[in-house]
Amino acid sequence: MNISPVHYIALPLLAAFLIPLLSKLHKELARIVPGLVFLYFLVISVVLMQRLETQPMISEVIAGWSAPWGINLVFTPFSGFLVSLMSFIGFLVWVYSYHFKKIDYMPAQKYFILLMMLVTGSIGIVLTGDIFNLFVFLEIVAISAYSLTAFYPGRDGAEAAFKYLLVGSFASALILLAIVILYTQTGTLNMADLAVKMHEVPHYLKVIIFVLFLVGFGIEAEMFPLNGWAPDAYSQAPGPIGAVFAGIVVKGGIYALVRVVYTIFDLSGVGTILIALGLVTMIIAELAALRQDNLKRMLAYSSIGQMGVVLIAFGIGTDTAIFAALFLMLNHALIKSMLFFSASYLLYNSTTKTIKELTGMAKHLPFVSFIFALGAFAIVGLPPFSGFWSKLYFLMAAADAQMVLLIITVLSVSVIEIIYYFRVIGKIYSKDETSELEPKKPTINSVLVMTVLGALIIIIGVYPDLVTDWIHHASDALVNKSNYIQNVLTENLPR
């Protein structure tokens, strides 16, 4: 059996259906099997990325019906980049949460199934080449995300999840509407085929479809003004799930948006809309983060702000800008998940999760505090860390496009970022010890995860060339739309 992209979907599903039976056999299997699946994800990623060096992309048909007739999975360097990133973060989250034998009094089996499907659904969004199949994967992600948000039996989790569910089902209704209109006009659901037939669609219908997709996927990508669900969901979900939301789920939403904008529609005229939306998202989110006193909500708003920057970069749309956008996504995934991991230890026994409670935490938890400080330095873009390079590339791309106002805005927003992150660091490292929180010693696996992430951030910061080739490959693949269409539509069956 050759390794092919469909393994990303088939094996976790097999594992998810088997786990209820396996855990009757032995309790521990419910925790171990998802880990094996994540490990296998990493193996497939490495093998497939190597295969991409000899061929431009891997397009796999499902059920033996070639591209427009059946569903297909497309593994381009761009989707490969995101999938590898998601598998890596997913694996780290699994390692981090491995010691969850029981979450409060809930058996952890359901947690691991939902976590695995959350990652699998996001990978499915990235891999699929069919617009309705994308919707199905979006629903897989959505349902597991709702359940995980309400996972703790406390009262606010259910409310955050209900809010998320309302907004999410509105989004999926809009996406379905867009799919209906698109189908009546083109008679196909394959994204490459849609891109070919898009010129048959009257212009005003194009606009309507675009707005429906933009709002629908924008909700998943935390775009203004529909991101009200995000801070609640981030702060109420179990600690590592915040990392999954920031590192994986949002990336899926951004991918769907970008795939629709870049492949199905032409970019002309759309870029300015993305830039404007990204700017508003960024400014409002960073201002909101400044006045938060809840640490997790602050991190969530900061995450929304970063997504705004990514949207701006995709909106500029030049080669360098897309390169910067992908670099920003990579850094955001690594750094934000590290911040969420360390924050959930800093706030372990807190009920209100406010920043005030952190005063003097560095004495009790030197390692975790150090990791948090490292992440904060990296995400605001200080030089020796990886966040610096992505911000630099972004500013260079904006300068190439001669958007001076944009550069000034982003720089001043960075100042806001520095203010609120340093306020937290100042509290953690403050001398007067008033914290009443009972510190929880980090377990070995979580220390391992944070060390790996911290080391990666420093290594990428010192040698950015390690990843730039990879990202260049990915951004070229996104820009080269005709290559995508040609490869998908002329794919022959493997027989």
Partner 1 sequence: MDFDFQNIVTISVYGSAIALILIGIYAVLIKKHLIKIVIGMSLVDAGLHLLFVAIGYINNGTAPIFSPGYEDAATNMVDPVPQALVLTAIVIGFAVTAVALSLVIRLYKHHGTVRIDEIKSLKW
Partner 2 sequence: MKKFFVIALLAILGFYLTIAFLQIPFGQNRLGQPQDEATVGAYYLNNTKEKSAVSNVVTAIVVNYRGFDTLGEVTVLFLASTGLASILYRRKEEEVERINKPSSSLLQTGSKFLFPLVVLLGIYVFIHGHLTPGGGFQGGAIIATGFLLMLIAYQKYHVSHSMLTWVESLAGVLFVSIGLWGLITGGTFLENSYFPKGVLNSLISGGAIPIIYIAVGFKVAAELTGVLDILLNTKEEKSVPSNQNEK
Q: Is 189 in the site for partner 1 (CB under 8 A)?
A: yes
Q: Pick the binder of partner 2 from 177, 382, 392, 395 (CB under 8 A).
A: 177
Q: Pick the binder of partner 1 from 132, 370, 429, 470 (CB under 8 A).
A: 132
Contact between residue 97 and residue 105 where contact means Cβ atoms under 8 Å apart: no
Contact partner at residue 426 from partner 2, partner 1, none, CB < 5 to 8 Å by partner kind: none
Contact partner at residue 18 from partner 2, partner 1, none, CB < 5 to 8 Å by partner kind: partner 2
Give min distance, CB of 198 to partner 1, in A. 18
Residue 355: alpha-carbon gap to chain centroid: 25
Q: Pick the binder of partner 1 from 170, 367, 429, 470 (CB under 8 A).
A: 170
Q: Is 159 in the site for partner 1 (CB under 8 A)?
A: yes
Residue 140: alpha-carbon gap to chain centroid: 15
Binding-site size for partner 1 (CB under 8 A) equals 33
N residues, the chain: 495
The region of 42-50, 166-174, 348-356, 484-492 touching partner 1 under the rule CB under 8 A is 166-174
Beta strand 106-107 with 102-103: parallel, antiparallel or unpaired? antiparallel
Q: Pick the binder of partner 2 from 34, 68, 216, 308 (CB under 8 A).
A: 68
What's at 454, amino acid-wise? Answer: G
Nearer to partner 2, 174 or 261 (CB): 174
Of 359, 380, 361, 357, the closest CA to residue 370 belongs to 361
Q: Pick the binder of partner 2 from 105, 200, 431, 438 (CB under 8 A).
A: 105
Q: Pick the binder of partner 2 from 29, 42, 158, 452 (CB under 8 A).
A: 158
Tokens in use for 139? Answer: 């629903």
Give min distance, CB of 113 to partner 2, in A. 6
Nearer to partner 1, 143 or 211 (CB): 143
Q: Cβ atoms within 10 A of the Cβ of 283, count?
A: 18
Crossing angle (nearest 10°) for helices 295-316 and 250-259: 20
Crossing angle (nearest 10°) for helices 250-259 and 131-149: 160
Contact partner at residue 106 from partner 1, partner 2, none, CB < 5 to 8 Å by partner kind: partner 2
Give min distance, CB of 155 to partner 1, in A. 4
The region of 30-38, 47-55, 142-150, 422-430 touching partner 2 under the rule CB under 8 A is 142-150
Distances (CA, A) of 412 to 283, 380, 392, 395, 403: 10, 12, 14, 13, 15
Structure letter (DSSP) for residue 67: T
For 444-472, the DSSP string reads: HHHHHHHHHHHHHHHHHHH-THHHHHHHH
**DSSP H or E segment with residue 259:** helix 250-259
Give min distance, CB of 173 to partner 1, in A. 5
Q: Cβ atoms within 10 A of the Cβ of 402, count?
A: 8
First to last CA, the chain: 14
Q: Is 160 in the site for partner 1 (CB under 8 A)?
A: yes
Dihedral sign of CA atoms 412, 457, 333, 274 in order:
positive
Nearer to partner 2, 193 or 357 (CB): 193
Q: Is 447 in the site for partner 2 (CB under 8 A)?
A: no
Phi/psi-derived region of residue 330, left when phi > 0, alpha when psi is between -120 and 50, beta in every other case? alpha
Q: Cβ atoms within 10 A of the Cβ of 117, count?
A: 23
Contact partner at residue 495 from partner 1, partner 2, none, CB < 5 to 8 Å by partner kind: partner 2
What's at 312, amino acid-wise? Answer: I
Distance CA(93)–CA(18), nearest Å, equals 21
The region of 83-91, 131-139, 376-384, 462-470 touching partner 2 under the rule CB under 8 A is 131-139
Of 159, 424, 417, the closest CA to residue 288 belongs to 417
Of 451, 232, 471, the closest CA to residue 331 belongs to 471
Give min distance, CB of 117 to partner 2, in A. 6
Instruction: Provide the mask over 90-129, with x wherever binding to partner 1 is found by CB under 8 A and - wherever it is not.
Output: ----------------------------------------
Distance CA(349)–CA(415), nearest Å, equals 31
Contact partner at residue 176 from partner 2, partner 1, none, CB < 5 to 8 Å by partner kind: partner 1
Would you tell me which residues interact with partner 2 (CB under 8 A)? 1-2, 4, 6, 9-10, 13-14, 16-18, 20-21, 24, 60-65, 68-71, 105-106, 110-111, 113-114, 117, 124, 132-133, 136-137, 139-140, 143-144, 146-147, 150-151, 153, 155, 158, 161, 177, 181, 184-189, 202, 204-205, 208, 493-495
Contact positions toward partner 1, by CB under 8 A? Answer: 132, 136, 139, 142-143, 146-147, 150, 154-156, 158-163, 165-166, 169-170, 172-173, 176-177, 179-180, 183-184, 189, 228, 232, 236
